[in-house]
Structure 1
C-alpha cells in the first residue's frame, strides 16, 4: 500500500464479530502488524456454509468448527458485547470488561434458528455434538417438513434428498420465489428444477400457521403442520429455516439514528458508519448495496482495513466498489446452480468449485490450521 506504517501505542482496532468478514479483517491487520482484538460470542469460528450438510452427513460437523484462539491467540476474546461508548471509544462487554479502540469494525453478521445458524457460546465439542444429534434425528424420520424456501431451506432439502432419496421431504415457502430473489430468474428456476427432480414436494405461496406450537428438529410421529391456505401435513419432523435477521444487539443502543428499519448500519462509500471516521461496518450488518455472502464480507473486510491504514497515514480513504452478485447454490454434493459476473453457471462448475466440500478446506487454510480427516 506504499510507505512505512507507523503505529502508536494508542492504535488498536477492535473487531466485533468473528464470521467470514471478521476473520478476514483480523488476518489483514495481523499481516500489517496493527494491534487488534477480535471478539466473538462463540469459542470457535463456524464455517457456516457447511452447516446444512453437517445436519445431514455424519462426521461433517467437525470440519465446520475451527478454534479462534489457536489462530489469533491473545488477540481473540470470547464474550458478548453489550454496548459501545462512542465518545470514549470503548467496547463494553457483558461481563463489564471495557476494551478501548482507536478504530472499530462491526462485523456482527446475522442470526437465526439452528441448524442454519449457531450463535450459542458453546465449546467446539458441544457444537459438533449438536449437529451430530440432528443427523441422528433426520435418520430416524421418514417424512420431513422444511419451513422456509430461502437459501438455507432449499439447500437443506436438497442435502436430505441427496443422502436419503427415499425420505419424503416437503418444503413450505411463503412466496413462489425459491432461493435468493436477487439472483437471475434462471438460477431460481434451476433451484426449483433440482428440488423437483430429487423428489421434494413444494408447497409455495403458503405460510405455516402453527410453527410456534411445533417441536423442531426432533423426530416424532404424527406432527401436524397447518398452513394459512388450509393445507394439513402430517410429518415425523419439522426443521425451520426462516427468521434470519441482522445481529444488532452489540450496537443497537449506540447507533440509534444510524440504522435502517431492519437494523442494518448505514455506511458511507468508505464503509464508515455514517458520520464516523473511526467506526466501520462490513458484512450482513452493513447497509451496502451488494449481495450478502461470505465472499462479499471478505472483500469488504479487505477494503475496510485498507481504509484504516489510510487513516493511520492521514491519507484520504478509498470508496468501496460493490460487485455484481456472485452466488453458488449447492444442492447436495453432486448438484447446484449459480451465477458469476451476471451469467448463469450450472451443475459442473458449482459442483467442482463448491458443492463437493463446501469450501471447508479453504477456511482451515485461512485459519492456518489442519482440517480433521
Structure 2
C-alpha cells in the first residue's frame, strides 16, 4: 500500500461500501487520508455468500459486517442522491452535504433478492429476510431458478445441495450457462455439475410474463409458461436475472460521463471522463471485464494510488484488464472455475472458494472477528 503521503487539505469521499468501497476506505486510512465512506446500509454485505445464506439456516449473519465498528466516525449511513462536481459535495437523502477534494464512486450493481440486498435497513433486517427465504424453500416441493448466468447457476446448485430431495429447475434464455467471459470448457463443466446434482435444465427459453410472478414466496403448483410454449409447474420462483448498474447517485451530476448501461466512462487511470478528481471503481466503472468483487479490489488500489500520486505530483498509474479469473461455488462440496484463463480442477475451486465463500477475507479486511 505504500507509505503515508502529505495529505493536508485532502478529503476523499467514497460512495458505496461494497468490495471496492471497503478496499478503498482501508487503503485511504492506511495512507493517512481523511475520508468518509457513505453507504445506505449499516453493514457491509458479503454478497458472494448471499446464495448460501438463502438455503442454510443461521448462515446469513456471517455475511453482514457492521461498518461503524471498523470505520467509526468516518462512516456515514445514507443514500447519496446527487453529486455536485462544481461545489465538490455529495448530497445525501434528507439534504446533508459532504464536501470532498477527491471522490471515489463504488455504487456497484443492483438486482433481485437474494443475490443482492441493497436496502436502507439494518443488517438485522437483512439477516431475517434471508432466514425467511430459507423457510419458504423448506416448505416448497419444487423450486424454479430463473436465469442461468453465474448467479443462477450457483443458486440452483446451493438449493439442490442443501435440499437434495426437492425438484430444482433452472431456466436460461441461452444455450450455454454461466458468464460469457468464462472458458467454454468451464461453462460446460458448470452444466455437468448441475446435472450430476439432479438439477433439471430448460435452456434457450424465457419465462413469459415474469414481471407478474410473485418471487421468493411459496405458492404451490404455480403454472408458468415459456416463450416457446413449454409449461412449468413449480411451488417457488427465485429470480437471478436483471442485474443493473446503480447510477442513481451520479446520474444527474455526472450525466455527460454516463454510458448507455449506466456505468461511468473512465480513462486508463479510472478517472471519470472530464473529472480528474473523480474515480469510478468496480461495477459502476465502464471497464470491459466481468463484474466481480476481485476486480473491484484491484480498481480500488489504482484509484487510491492515483489520488496519492496526484497529491504528490507523481505520474498516475493505469489499470489494465487481464485474463479472466472466476470461481463458481456450486454448493459447499463442488465448484468450477478458471485462473488466468486456465481451467482449474473442481477440487481446487471447492477448497479455494466453495467451502467458506471467502468470508474470512472480508472479515479480515474489515478488521473484525465473527466470534
**Alignment TM-score, normalising by the size of structure 1:** 0.98
Note the alpha carbon deviations across 1:36-67, whole angstroms, 9 max, x for none. 00001111100010000000011110110000
Q: Is the 8 A contact 1:246 1:284 kept in 2?
A: yes
Determine the structure 2 residue equivalent to 1:163. 162
SS in 2 for 1:257: helix
Determine the structure 2 residue equivalent to 1:53. 52
Distance 1:7 1:37 in 2: 14
Determine the structure 2 residue equivalent to 1:363. 362
1:111/1:371 Cα in 2 relative to 1: closer, same or farther (>3 Å)? same
- Over the aligned positions, Cα root-mean-square deviation in angstroms equals 1.1
Determine the structure 1 residue equivalent to 2:147. 148
Q: Is the 8 A contact 1:290 1:324 kept in 2?
A: no
Note the alpha carbon deviations across 1:9-34, whole angstroms, 9 max, x for none. x3100000000000000000000110
Unaligned regions of 5+ residues in structure 2, if any?
none
Q: Is the 8 A contact 1:176 1:204 kept in 2?
A: yes
Report the Cα offset of residue 314 of structure 1: 1.7
1:245/1:37 Cα in 2 relative to 1: closer, same or farther (>3 Å)? same
Q: Is the 8 A contact 2:3 2:31 kept in 1?
A: no
Distance 1:56 1:162 in 2: 9
Alignment of 1:312 onto 2:311 = yes
SS in 1 for 2:257: coil
Determine the structure 1 residue equivalent to 2:103. 104
Distance 2:224 2:2 in 1: 61
Determine the structure 2 residue equivalent to 1:119. 118
Distance 1:139 1:2 in 2: 50
Count residues with an aligned counterpart.
Answer: 371
Distance 2:47 2:57 in 1: 16
Determine the structure 2 residue equivalent to 1:335. 334
Q: Is the 8 A contact 2:4 2:31 kept in 1?
A: no
Q: Is the 8 A contact 2:54 2:130 kept in 1?
A: yes
Determine the structure 2 residue equivalent to 1:199. 198
Distance 2:59 2:193 in 1: 23
SS in 2 for 1:104: strand
Report the Cα offset of residue 210 of structure 1: 2.1
Distance 2:67 2:254 in 1: 28
Determine the structure 1 residue equivalent to 2:189. 190
Report the Cα offset of residue 151 of structure 1: 1.0
Distance 2:354 2:2 in 1: 39
Determine the structure 2 residue equivalent to 1:5. 5
Distance 2:44 2:53 in 1: 15
Q: How does 1:1-373 map to 2 (within 5 A)?
A: 5-8=5-8, 10-372=9-371
Report the Cα offset of residue 4 of structure 1: 5.9
Distance 1:30 1:2 in 2: 12
Note the alpha carbon deviations across 1:104-149, whole angstroms, 9 max, x for none. 0000000001001000111121110000110111011111101111
Report the Cα offset of residue 79 of structure 1: 0.3
Report the Cα offset of residue 2 of structure 1: 7.0
Note the alpha carbon deviations across 1:263-299, whole angstroms, 9 max, x for none. 1110001000012110000100001122221111001
List, as ranges, runs of 4+ consecutive aligned residues in structure 1 with deviation greater than 3 Å.
1-4
Note the alpha carbon deviations across 1:160-219, whole angstroms, 9 max, x for none. 111111110110111112110111000100110101111111111111112122111011
Q: More displaced, 38-47 or 254-263?
A: 254-263
Note the alpha carbon deviations across 1:315-336, whole angstroms, 9 max, x for none. 2211112221110011000101
Q: More displaced, 137-146 or 211-220?
A: 211-220
Distance 2:176 2:250 in 1: 32
